[in-house]
Amino acid sequence: MTIGLVSDTHGYFDPKLREILAGVDMILHAGDVGEDTVLHELGTIAPVQAVRGNIDSADSGLPLSLQLTPGGAAIHLVHILPAPQSHLERWAKSEHESKPVPKAAERLFRTFEPATEIVLFGHSHRPCLVSLGGMLWINPGSAGRKRFSLPRTCGRLEISTERFEARIVPLDDDAVGVAAQTSIHRNRRASPALRSPAET
């Protein structure tokens, strides 16, 4: 199963998404949608599930978070991660270097259901793709209009019975340097705090 990953569109639908997300089975939008027209346009590519971001009105009817199981994968979709993205990235680097995971990271794990395999989030406009605590953490970045020097990106996620494979896809030529890809073995039996370091 292939899932398109989008966030922080802020009311702008980039026509490039039609080509980049062509053939996906569904699209997940991690909030700050901005306008209903964005979800409508994405819906012409594939079925869409979205959560409410901090710029989205409660009247939008979008939930603050979603628990989904597309292709049997346990995905938690939320706009704002309950820890700074910079901390997440630092903890993932430490775990990759076989250093102890700090207590703050363990507290983050406990904010999600034990079966969670993938956390998809947005808000920072900075793409992030790391494995930590046996889970895959993805911020597809901002697919909205250019802001400051931040890159414009989206993502694709491949789900199989054995692995998850995710990649960040640039929307502009100047974002090519931020393209990233990783994969992780699936391991749903252990709770995140007890999982062994993820393979990347």
Q: What angle do CA 22, 25, 31 make, to 5 degrees?
A: 85
The pLDDT of residue 35 is 94
The pLDDT of residue 179 is 59
Q: Which two tokens stand for residue 69?
A: 């199981």
- What would you measure as the largest C-alpha separation in the chain, in angstroms? 46
The phi and psi torsions of 26 (rounded to 5 degrees) equal: -160, 165
Q: What is the pLDDT along the chain (200 residues), one digit of tens a residue?
A: 999 999 999 999 999 999 999 999 999 999 999 999 999 999 999 999 999 999 999 999 999 999 999 999 999 999 999 999 999 999 999 998 999 888 999 999 999 999 999 999 999 999 999 999 989 999 999 999 988 788 899 999 999 988 999 999 999 877 656 656 777 777 643 333 333 333 33
Amino acid at 103: K
Residues 106, 111, 113, 119, CA torsion sign: negative
What percentage of the chain's residues is helix, strand, coil (to nearest 5)?
A: 25, 30, 50
The phi and psi torsions of 31 (rounded to 5 degrees) equal: 95, 170
Q: Are 55 and 79 in contact (CB under 8 A)?
A: no
Q: How far apart are CA 112 and CA 148, in angstroms?
A: 32
Amino acid at 66: L
The pLDDT of residue 199 is 35
The pLDDT of residue 175 is 61
Domain ranges of the chain: 2-194
Q: How far apart are CA 5 and CA 73, in angstroms?
A: 15
Q: State how beta strands 75-78 and 118-120 pair.
A: parallel
Q: What is the CATH number of domain 2-194?
A: 3.60.21.10
The pLDDT of residue 135 is 93
